[in-house]
Amino acid sequence: MNRSRGNFQPGKLIADVVLYAALLLLALTVALPMVNLVISAFKPDAGFLDSLFLPKGDGLFGVDWGGLTLVQFKRLFSGDVGIGRAVLNSLVLSTATALLATACCSAAGYALAMFDFRGRRIADWLVIAALVIPPPLLLAPGYQWLFDLGLLNSYWGVILPAAAPAFGVFLFRQAAKQSVSKSTLEAARIDGAGEATIFLGVALPMLRPMVGAFVMITFLGMWNNFIGPQIVLQTESKQPLAIVIFEAKTAYYTDYGLLMAGTLVSVLPVVALFVLLQREFIAGLSSGAIKG
């Protein structure tokens, strides 16, 4: 009893209370916009801006529960908006880009970290230099390149420019330096394994946390990509979800209910992916953050 009293530290208790209060405030700051988004997606157009969250009425807790409706989602998936096709387009673009970019970046980062070849240092510096180039500066030359290759108004015109980002190559280079053991690779070579087998069967499983994190980062980046598809894709049936949702806003009238419902639909796949890959995402971001 006396011992427990002796270990009591009022200063530490106060610090913990302040810390948890700050974390609670931060959590509320992040959660409230999401709560507002979910509620707004079920609000009708009439009186949409009359209340910040739930519509006011004579129901339980002073809420008009009958005012919540699914009409916005019915409009989304009707022929007028065609969001079903847009969701499919976004899934195709995001999945293909995530898989292709992960394959290219993991192979390139592994090669830069594990192989000693002529020009490796120059390649390292080129990757680092590419990291500091603002992406908007590449829009004009990228458009000219796609025009020359005949890839405008095609899915490949959106996917290929994102197939090997310097950011991904650098992440996998750092992760390979920290996670992949050269002695293990040498043992596999002594056993007669080829380089492709070593990479796919030995190195890639060691890089699994980074693979999961990068798949999620790339998928999310393409899912929310607005400028690239808008420039490359001219056919309305090929437009991804981000552009279709934006078109719900016009110069004279903004359909807030439809906009909120579309935003909620666009958020759900990303949330599901994060739930599936959250462990790999956290472990992957930390795996390449220490060793240079």
Tens-digit pLDDT profile for residues 88-143: 999 999 999 999 999 999 999 999 988 888 888 899 899 989 888 888 888 889 89
Residue 290 confidence (pLDDT) above 50? no
Q: What is the pLDDT of residues 7-33, one digit of tens each?
A: 667 778 888 888 999 999 999 998 888
- CA 155 from chain centre, in angstroms, equals 19
At 56, is the pLDDT very low, low, confident or very high (cuts 50, 70, 90)?
confident
pLDDT for the residue numbered 292: 44
Under 8 Å between Cβ of 238 and 224: no
pLDDT for the residue numbered 260: 83
* Closest by Cα among 107, 215, 232 to 160: 232
DSSP state of 150: T
* Closest by Cα among 107, 288, 113, 111 to 210: 288
Under 8 Å between Cβ of 280 and 171: no
Q: What is the pLDDT of residues 172-203, one digit of tens each?
A: 998 888 888 888 888 888 888 888 898 888 88
Beta bridge pairs of residue 63: 56
Cα–Cα distance for residue pair 43/53, rounded to 1 Å: 9
Cα–Cα distance for residue pair 173/113, rounded to 1 Å: 5
What value does the mean pLDDT take over residues 215-242? 88
Torsions phi, psi for 104 (to 5 deg): -70, -45
Q: At what angle do helices 166-179 and 256-287 cross, to 10 degrees?
A: 40
At 291, is the pLDDT very low, low, confident or very high (cuts 50, 70, 90)?
very low
pLDDT for the residue numbered 253: 61
pLDDT for the residue numbered 12: 81
Cα–Cα distance for residue pair 240/238, rounded to 1 Å: 6
